Structure 1
Amino acid sequence: MLTDLKSRFDTAEIAELMSYAVAGDPSALEHAALEYQHNSGLELFGWEDDGLVVGLVGFEETEDGSLELRHIAVLPENRGKGYARGMILELMTQRNPRYVVAETTDESTADFYRALGFMVYSLGDGPNGAEVLRCVYEVEEPEED
C-alpha cells in the first residue's frame, strides 16, 4: 500500500531513498527536496513493508491526464522483489491516468520500463551528453459491458 511521504521528506529514511533516485547527487537531492516542499502539484509516496519504507515514487499528474514519474527508488537490499513495479501499478489503479511517463538516461532503467510494457523513445542527447530516453505506457481504458 502506498503511503504519503511528502511531509516526511526531511527524515533520514526518506532522504536515503531519494538519494538513490538522484544517483547520489547532493545538489539534485537538495533540489528535489525543495521541489517537493514548494510545488503542491508534486506528490511523493512510499511503499512500506513491515513498517519500513522500502521504496518511493514521486510524480505529478498533468493536465492531459498523464502521470509523470519524477523519482522512483527502492532500497538496494529490496530490489528485484517487485516493489517498483508494484508502486507503478498501484498508482495506475488509484489515479487511472491516460499515460504513465518517465524519462531516464540509464539503459537498465529503460529496460525495467520496457519489461512493464512501456514504449521507449530516444529524445537525443541531454545537456550532459547522455541520451535521454522517454518511457511511455498507454493505459488501456476498461471495456464497457
Structure 2
Amino acid sequence: MEEIKTRSLPPELRTLLSVATSEKNVEREFNLYNESSVRKLYGSTIEGHLVGCIGVEFLAPDRCEIKHIAVLPQHRSRGIGKKMIKFIRDKNSLSFICAETDRDAVHFYEKFGFDITSLGEKYPGGERFQCVFSN
C-alpha cells in the first residue's frame, strides 16, 4: 500500500473510484484528495497493477472517515479490502473509523467488526448504513 500522489487521474484509478462513487463525481472526488490536507488516497497493487484503493478523511489525529474503498471485481474476496483498512488503522494509530455505505457493502464492514446502524432511505430507493469501528 502506498499513498497515491498524482495530479492526473490514471485510468485504473478512475475505474476504482467509479465503483466507489458515481462516474459523474470521479473527477471532483479525485481533485479533493489533491487539494485537501485532511484527505489521503492509497492504492493496493498486485504485480504492479492497481487493484484496490481506499480514500480517507482525517477528522482528528486518531479518527478518520472512509470516503471511498474499492477493489476490482476479479480481485474481491481475497482480503484486499480488509488489508487496506488495517493498513490505514495501523499506519495512523486510529482508534475510530467510520464509513457510510449501502446494503451491498454493509456485510463487508460487519465482518471487519464495525458496528452498523441503519440511516434509513437517505436517497430515493436506497437504504444507507453508518459503520463505526472503535477500539
**TM-score, normalization by structure 2:** 0.91
What is the alpha-carbon distance in structure 2 between the residues aligned to residue 63 and residue 6 of structure 1?
A: 22
Q: Identify which of 85, 89, 111 aligns with 1:88.
A: 85
How far 1:92 sits from its partner (Å)? Answer: 1.0
> In 2, distance between residues paired with 1:134 and 1:9?
31
How far apart are residue 9 of structure 1 and its match? 5.3
Q: Matches of 2:61 and 2:130 in 1, distance apart? A: 17
Shift of residue 34, structure 1, vs aligned partner? 2.6
Q: Deviations over 1:87-136 (max 9, x none)?
A: 001111111111111001x2131111001111100122214352220000
8 Å contact 1:5–1:46 — kept in the other structure? yes
Deviations 1:29-53 (A, max 9, x none): 1221232232221100011111111
Give the total of aligned pairs.
135
Moved over 4 A (4+): none
Shift of 1:64: 6.9
Assess if the C-alpha contact under 8 Å between 1:8 and 1:14 holds in 2: no
> Which position in structure 1 is the counterpart of 2:4?
5
Structure 2 CA distance for aligned equivalents of residues 134 and 15 of structure 1? 25
1:120-131 alignment, distance < 5 Å: 120-131=116-127
Q: Do the aligned partners of residues 8 and 51 (structure 1) sit closer, same or farther apart at CA in structure 2, a change above 3 Å counting? A: farther
For the 8 Å contact 2:7–2:34, the answer to whether it is kept is no
Aligned residues with identical type, % of pairs: 31
Q: Normalising to structure 1: TM-score of the pair? A: 0.85
Structure 2 equivalent of residue 33 of structure 1: 30
Tell me by how many angstroms 1:73 deviates: 0.4
Measured after TM superposition, the shift of residue 58 of structure 1 is: 0.2
**Greater share of strand residues, 1 or 2?**
2
SS at match of 1:91: helix
Q: Which blocks of at least 5 consecutive residues in structure 1 are unaligned? A: 140-145
Structure 2, unpaired ranges of 5+: none
What is the CA deviation profile of residues 60-93 of structure 1, one whole-angstrom value per residue up to 9, with x for unaligned ones? 1112731210000011110111100000011111
CA–CA separation in structure 1 for the residues paired with 2:7 and 2:16: 12
